[in-house]
Amino acid sequence: MRSSQFFISTLKEAPNDAEIVSHQLMLRAGLIKRLAGGIYTWMPLGLRILRKVENILREEMNHAGAVELLMPAVQPGELWQESGRWEKYGPELLRLKDRHQRDFVVGPTHEEVITDIVRRDVKSYRQLPLHFYQIQTKFRDEIRPRFGVMRGREFLMKDGYSFHASFDDLQREYRNMFDTYTRIFTRLGLEFRAVAADTGSIGGTGSHEFHVLADSGEDALAYCSDSDYAANVELAEALAPTKPRGAAGESMRKVATPNQTRCEDVANYLGLPFEKTVKAIAVMHDEAFTLLLLRGDHTLNEIKTGKLPGLDPFRFATDAEIERFLGCQLGYIGPVGVDPAKVRIIADRTVAAMSDFICGANEAGFHLTGVNFGRDLPEPSIVADIRNVVAGDPSPDGKGVLELRRGIEVGHIFQLRTKYAEALNCSFLDENGQSQFMEMGCYGIGVTRIVGAAIEQCHDERGCIFPAAIAPFTVCIVPMGYAKSETVRTAADALYTDLQAADIDVLLDDRNERPGVLFADMELIGIPHRIVIGERGLKEGLFEYQGRRDTEAKMVPAREIIAFLKARLCAA
Amino acid sequence: MRSSQFFISTLKEAPNDAEIVSHQLMLRAGLIKRLAGGIYTWMPLGLRILRKVENILREEMNHAGAVELLMPAVQPGELWQESGRWEKYGPELLRLKDRHQRDFVVGPTHEEVITDIVRRDVKSYRQLPLHFYQIQTKFRDEIRPRFGVMRGREFLMKDGYSFHASFDDLQREYRNMFDTYTRIFTRLGLEFRAVAADTGSIGGTGSHEFHVLADSGEDALAYCSDSDYAANVELAEALAPTKPRGAAGESMRKVATPNQTRCEDVANYLGLPFEKTVKAIAVMHDEAFTLLLLRGDHTLNEIKTGKLPGLDPFRFATDAEIERFLGCQLGYIGPVGVDPAKVRIIADRTVAAMSDFICGANEAGFHLTGVNFGRDLPEPSIVADIRNVVAGDPSPDGKGVLELRRGIEVGHIFQLRTKYAEALNCSFLDENGQSQFMEMGCYGIGVTRIVGAAIEQCHDERGCIFPAAIAPFTVCIVPMGYAKSETVRTAADALYTDLQAADIDVLLDDRNERPGVLFADMELIGIPHRIVIGERGLKEGLFEYQGRRDTEAKMVPAREIIAFLKARLCAA
């Protein structure tokens, strides 16, 4: 492609509302244009990246035996009512009425539609298994769309759905997809990690997320370098301390802690270790009040907590409720002296093993030190894993310690089991002529989000750094004076033709701009390989080559440039 | 592809609501599945056809210098309000509100969005011309969706938009697109015709439609075999008769024509030629009443008529209005003796040249014969071209006579001029630093509709007959007893591998079904080339070949089959 026949439109500054680097760079490089909140046009340069991602997905999904189809974006509300998600999905489901006042949605996902197709068409175990997928535009009406394509409203997804006669066969396909996703993200050239995941609202049991690793990622991932263990922190288990609780060594004392409401401040004020503090978090389930006890430096894991009996779902107590149940204001609340008939106490496993700890005194301006279970307050009736793991925690599989990385979720595979098959009556006759519900799996990849995640993972102050597999162009030719110098123009045109003949995806930047502008644009766009052609080099038969990650350029004999590039491309 | 790893699901009978043959065959062949009225899933077999169409479009559009992007399906209502189409578009525009109660539409077309992009990004004549296109899912809320993908609600379109600094440059690109569309439909393997077209509601001046020729087509096309003239009948001009009006030969007589209300019946009843009758059609523009006079065997052209002064727009008069203005009921109305102060008369050019004609007497049960302008009624004050052309009419370019064919509109190119640029203030600075509105063109192809049109054009009682360029597979191998005979299986597998190696798109039908079922399915699906492998043929080293259009099979030596097929494919 020649720049003059393409459309390159870069910006010096990103708009103010672009909060994260991928959003800023995608706008500056002209990969996307905002049409409305969370709704973007993919400009020619961005679309080239999308298409490269799509092609890799398609090749690997086909190779894995899945079959592509294309379902509609607009779906009848009836099917969502039948599955029960019309009520459950909430305002993220974009609902609308057609001209005949019939309910429709712009689909955020396609479990209902594909299950409807399969229940009409498939009657016998002999027709199973099946795995259909599509690459299709979806809509999710996010309340606060942001971060560009990372949390957009309209987005492109690869979504696949498999149907099976048995759970065993679902598990076989699930492993097949785990391996396929691993191949896909490897081919995309991204550093990623697959982690066990909470299934969230999509339902079913058994799921893994695929995350692109990036410091800016919204998700925290826990993994063990000594084993295969890897999980979203939402799900990672914090084991109980192996060391038994120490004996009480101090007596309980009430100490004044004026204006000290956070555990860290209380510890500093009293000159005691942060790890000796216990914080109490007040939550409600309907009208039932519970105090959750966590070590001061730990954080609450809402997912794990929400699965405990009597806390599904829970919400944080209001100031008025805290006042009513504990007679005290936030910042000084604690578990000592509360009425067990009104206040349930759940201690994190770590807290249950603490002695001589510090906690709120249920009196404004005061804390207690030297507190011990069984002496100053009853043993906690419930001990549970309610905290987020931290680096250095023992791995739940007993094989080492946990490390933490941050990630951006770009893929998710689920074992849905028979959830949708039962809701939509999708059944088949087994070998014995018995009717059974189909076992289902579903497998998603956020196609548009991958582009943002790739930039979050790899960029510098000059712009995007794309993996070669998905860069908008693999190589750019930057002629120094294409319009002015016939020598340069002839050499650039010849190299352009040669690279095309060698099946290398090349951009010839033949715009009539200063070299500084061309360099800056090619770096901003993130093209992995750059060849500069100037009169001085040409006199000695040399081109200048620089990789996007290289700190220096090197001169390469013109006649060796194709072999040189091919070696570079293979190495990448 | 192997059938066993693909998804083939054919039906013996088409659902009752499938009215036309392409809809019936697409459902029977399992190319599409209905999700809701006018909303279809493209099943794997159908999607393969769509993708082949898309690829040809993409190659030719890129080759023509257009640049692909991808605009959102969901568009903000504001832009439609700005262009004025929020009010004008009517209920076919699917409107919706997001969770914040802001207006959006599911886009039926993208003039507003692309103009918004260009007005923000393009400031100078040096950045022009530009031509962006996309292949994207659209929605048009048809009141009565029918004919499957031919008049669906959700559909796939290739839509392109060009921007120019001058009308001359727009015309250059328009010709470029005319040639590109001609190449596209030629490559698709369809018999088609480009015709001058009415621009309809999209606005602007200058447009051509591309029609796939098929007897079932909704549009009538007029063309001249002796020249380049071709136009949609909506637009085709009916010239005035060259022969002057004959002199009056009869005197006017009132004759009883009890219960004869149609011209044809009146002529038969009176034993006079149909071509001597004149029908009067009563229409209204606001409160103004007009009688349109047409020869009895001609039909009214509403498009041409609607462009006449004082008839833009017009509607047909009600029975009560006819009674009020003419004092007579429908079936016997005519132009003689009406009050020129209340009733305007417009005569078609053909009628203006008639003498001694027959028309209604404005009295129930009676007609007039021997009627003559200038004697029995005034010369018509307005003579205009208001009828549809018929076969045998002189071509408007004066080079022969018109023939008629029916067609299905699959492409449309428009010169929009500055309509949208003015509405949305899309301007640029010209070479003199003056601000000018951009000249725009737009160019659409109905991607999904092409599949239906191809089937309407070519099918037989056994099913679809696809052109090789867009058939879901080019060749199918049908083994007689794949499961039972190792000889057959080995030969089929070997041929399958060989054809794949030769880069031929092949389907090996390895399903465990009776040969009759396999044959019927492959014919229904419309695969152009079939190779049957059976034990008997193999003993003599022969495969059986039959083209989908061939009436007989022929035996081909196994070792020559690839060369044989390649020759066939080249010939296609």
User: What percent of chain A is predicted at pLDDT more than 70?
Assistant: 98
Q: What does the pLDDT average to over A162-173? A: 96
Q: How near does any CA of chain A get to the CA of B308, in Å? A: 32
Q: How near does any CA of chain A get to the CA of B21, in Å? A: 22
Q: Cβ separation of B132 and A50 shorter than 8 Å?
A: no
Q: Cβ separation of A69 and B104 shorter than 8 Å?
A: no
Angstrom distance (rounded) from CA B518 to CA B534: 13
* A281-312 tens-digit pLDDT: 999 999 999 999 999 999 999 999 999 999 98
pLDDT given at position A196? 87
Q: Cβ separation of A70 and B41 shorter than 8 Å?
A: yes
* A472-530 tens-digit pLDDT: 999 999 999 999 999 999 999 999 999 999 999 999 999 999 999 999 999 999 999 99
What angle (nearest 5°) sits at the alpha carbon of residue A547, between those of residues A542 and A550? 110
Angstrom distance (rounded) from CA A217 to CA A452: 11
Whether A447 and A50 have beta carbons less than 8 Å apart is answered as yes
Angstrom distance (rounded) from CA A1 to CA A476: 10
Angstrom distance (rounded) from CA B487 to CA B472: 28
Whether A474 and A529 have beta carbons less than 8 Å apart is answered as yes
Question: Three-class SS of residue B268?
Answer: helix
Angstrom distance (rounded) from CA B536 to CA A73: 50
Angstrom distance (rounded) from CA A281 to CA A321: 12
3-state secondary structure A336-372: CCCCCCCEEEEEEHHHHCCCCEEEECCCCCEEEEEEC
pLDDT given at position A504? 95
Angstrom distance (rounded) from CA A139 to CA A130: 26
Closest CB to B68 among A35, A44, A117: A44
pLDDT given at position B53? 98
Q: Quick one: tokens of A469?
A: 């597999």
Angstrom distance (rounded) from CA A449 to CA B3: 34
**pLDDT level of residue A19 (50, 70, 90 thresholds):** confident
Q: Cβ separation of A98 and B94 shorter than 8 Å?
A: yes
Angstrom distance (rounded) from CA B156 to CA B258: 54
Closest CB to B72 among A47, A76, A154: A154
Whether B69 and B134 have beta carbons less than 8 Å apart is answered as yes
Has residue A449 got a pLDDT over 70?
Answer: yes
Task: Indicate the pairing of strand B427-429 with strand B459-460.
Answer: unpaired
Q: Which long-range contacts (CB under 8 A, 24 or more apart) does B301-310 make?
A: B301/B233, B301/B234, B301/B238, B301/B385, B301/B386, B301/B387, B301/B388, B303/B198, B303/B234, B303/B235, B304/B234, B304/B235, B304/B237, B304/B384, B304/B385, B304/B386, B305/B384, B305/B386, B308/B346, B308/B382, B308/B384, B308/B386, B310/B285, B310/B344
Half-sphere exposure at residue A338, Cβ-oriented, CA atoms within 13 angstroms = 29
Q: Compare all CA atoms of chain B with the CA of A90 and give the residue at the minimum distance.
A: B99
pLDDT given at position A204? 42
Half-sphere exposure at residue A184, Cβ-oriented, CA atoms within 13 angstroms = 33
* A379-433 tens-digit pLDDT: 998 999 999 999 999 999 889 999 999 999 999 999 999 999 999 999 999 999 9
Q: Quick one: tokens of A16?
A: 């103010």
Half-sphere exposure at residue A437, Cβ-oriented, CA atoms within 13 angstroms = 13
Angstrom distance (rounded) from CA B234 to CA B32: 32
Residue A310: strand pairing partners: none
Q: Which amino acid is at B38?
A: G
Q: How near does any CA of chain B get to the CA of A52, in Å? A: 14
Half-sphere exposure at residue A410, Cβ-oriented, CA atoms within 13 angstroms = 32
B chain contacts of residue A98, beta-carbon cutoff 8 Å: 94, 141, 153
pLDDT given at position B16? 84
Angle between the B486-501 and B561-571 helix axes, to the nearest 10 degrees?
50
Fill in the DSSP letter of residue B373.
B
Q: Compare all CA atoms of chain B with the CA of A72 and give the residue at the minimum distance.
A: B41
Residue with structure tokens 């954080």?
Answer: A299
A chain contacts of residue B7, beta-carbon cutoff 8 Å: 67, 69, 130, 132
Q: How near does any CA of chain B get to the CA of A134, in Å? A: 10
pLDDT given at position B570? 84
Q: How near does any CA of chain A get to the CA of B39, in Å? A: 7
pLDDT given at position B199? 53
Q: Cβ separation of B72 and A41 shorter than 8 Å?
A: yes
pLDDT given at position A198? 64
Closest CB to A71 among B5, B41, B72: B41
Closest CB to B5 among A43, A65, A154: A65
Q: Cβ separation of A99 and B113 shorter than 8 Å?
A: no
The predicted complex's ipTM stands at 0.91
- Indicate the average pLDDT of chain A: 94
* A181-223 tens-digit pLDDT: 999 999 999 999 999 886 544 444 589 999 999 999 999 999 9
Q: What does the pLDDT average to over A84-99? A: 94
Fill in the DSSP letter of residue B356.
S
Consecutive 10-residue averages of pLDDT for chain B (572 residues): 94 88 96 96 98 98 98 97 94 94 96 97 96 97 91 96 97 96 97 80 68 94 90 92 93 96 95 96 95 97 93 94 92 94 95 97 96 96 96 92 96 95 97 97 98 97 96 97 95 97 96 94 97 96 96 95 93 68
Q: What does the pLDDT average to over A31-57? A: 97
Whether A129 and A164 have beta carbons less than 8 Å apart is answered as yes
